[in-house]
């Protein structure tokens, strides 16, 4: 298993480095004003997350659309709300600065005073159900094992600092981005060999179905996105997400 664990970790880090370089070569026009790539300035934290938790095949891979400005943008960890990265995952690594940095969206890493609601909701549910990160991430040989990733690594901002999402990009910009992210996701799934791939939100589910087409034995599903921008997510998101994971056969009722 140690040899396999090393192979899994190396495969994921190599895939992330390839994605980093591929998306850095892309260009985006108005209304995109500033683009952050945590795979650049937060790479030490991404290495720490991958080396600690991607230690072998996983039964379940959950992934979201792209980083939020107060979550992964700050920490490099998918849905990485600062408090949970520090206190639950117990990760600590240097976080640099994007160049350029938007004055209304400074990157301060684990010192960020803001808490991202989406990440807080997801990791709070995980911490309540599993109590330790080791129990959540586990490995597939024990019948469990989860991993959390993001489809797109980039954060897009308007000149005002307003968050922009990749699904709203024009086709000429969106399609090369999705192609690069599809290649990365294929490599991630090859390395982790999941039974279940779960999109966090409808757009991520759509990407999951595209990436898993032709993969035998993989069940694709969705959980409600925890963003407070969604009225449905503000009504017992944790209960709704739990039911969806139970209905998919991933969690026990």
pLDDT > 70: percent of the chain: 96
Our count of domains for the chain comes to: 1
173: containing domain: 2-247
Residue at 133 is within a domain: yes
The predicted-structure confidence for 181-216, as pLDDT tens digits, reads as follows 999 999 999 999 999 999 999 999 999 999 998 899
Average pLDDT rounded to a whole number, residues 29-35: 97
pLDDT at residue 3 in the model: 43
**pLDDT range class, residue 102, cuts 50, 70, 90:** very high
Q: Is 236 contained in some domain? A: yes
The reply to whether 217 falls in a domain is yes
**pTM (2 d.p.):** 0.94
When pLDDT is cut at 50, 70 and 90, the band that residue 142 belongs to is: low
Give pLDDT, residue 140. Answer: 54
What mean pLDDT, rounded, does the chain reach? 94
pLDDT at 243: 98
* pLDDT of amino acid 253: 82
Give the DSSP per-residue string, the chain.
-HHHHHHHHHHHHHHHHHHHHHHHT----TT--EEE-HHHHTHHHHHHHHHHH-SS--SEEEEESS--TTTHHHHSSTT--HHHHHHTS---------SS--TTS---GGG-----HHHHHHHHHHHHHHSSHHHHH--GGGT--EEEEES---EEE-TT--EE-GGGS-HHHHHHHHHHHHHHHHHHHHHH--SEEEEESHHHHHHHHHHHTT-TT-EEEEE----TTSGGGGTTHHHHHHHHHHHTTSS--
Report yes or no on 131 lying in a domain.
yes
| Residue range 63-79, pLDDT digits in tens | 999 999 999 999 999 99
| Segment 108-134, tens digit of pLDDT | 999 999 999 999 999 999 999 999 999
The pLDDT of residue 139: 66
Residue 148 domain flag:
yes
What pLDDT is attached to residue 4? 54
- Angle made by CA atoms 118, 74, 30, in degrees to the nearest 5: 85
Per-residue model confidence (pLDDT) at position 214: 85
Query: Is 142 a domain residue?
Result: yes
The dihedral built from the CA positions of residue 44, 50, 64 and 210, taken in this order, carries a sign that is positive
Residue 252 covered by a domain: no
On the question of pLDDT at 1 being above 50, the answer is no
CATH of the domain at 94: 3.40.470.10
**Range 81-89 average pLDDT:** 98
User: Rounded CA gap, 89 and 77, in Å?
Assistant: 10
Classify residue 253: in a domain, yes or no. Answer: no
Residue 174: predicted pLDDT: 97
pLDDT at 130: 94
């Amino acid at each position: 298993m140690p040899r396999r664990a090393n192979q899994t970790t190396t495969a994921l880090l190599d895939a992330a480095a390839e994605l980093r370089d591929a998306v850095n070569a892309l260009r985006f026009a108005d209304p995109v004003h500033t683009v952050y790539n945590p795979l650049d300035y937060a790479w030490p934290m991404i290495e720490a997350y991958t080396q600690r938790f991607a230690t072998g095949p996983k039964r379940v891979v959950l992934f979201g659309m792209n980083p939020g400005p107060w979550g992964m943008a700050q920490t490099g960890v998918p849905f990485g709300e600062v408090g949970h990265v520090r206190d639950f995952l117990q990760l600590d690594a240097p976080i640099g600065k994007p160049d350029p940095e938007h004055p209304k969206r400074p990157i301060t890493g684990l010192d960020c005073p803001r808490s991202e609601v989406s990440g807080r909701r997801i990791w709070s549910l995980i911490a309540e159900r599993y109590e330790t990160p080791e129990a959540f991430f586990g490995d597939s040989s024990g019948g469990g094992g989860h991993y959390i990733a993001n489809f797109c690594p980039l954060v897009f901002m308007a000149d005002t600092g307003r968050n922009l999402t990749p699904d709203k990009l024009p086709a000429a910009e969106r399609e090369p981005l999705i192609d690069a992210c599809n290649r990365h996701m294929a490599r991630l799934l090859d390395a982790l060999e999941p039974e279940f791939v779960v999109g966090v939100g409808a757009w991520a589910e759509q990407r999951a179905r595209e990436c898993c087409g032709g993969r035998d034995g993989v069940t694709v599903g969705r959980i409600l996105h925890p963003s407070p921008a969604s009225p449905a997510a503000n009504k017992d998101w944790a209960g709704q997400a739990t039911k969806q994971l139970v209905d998919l056969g991933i969690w026990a009722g």
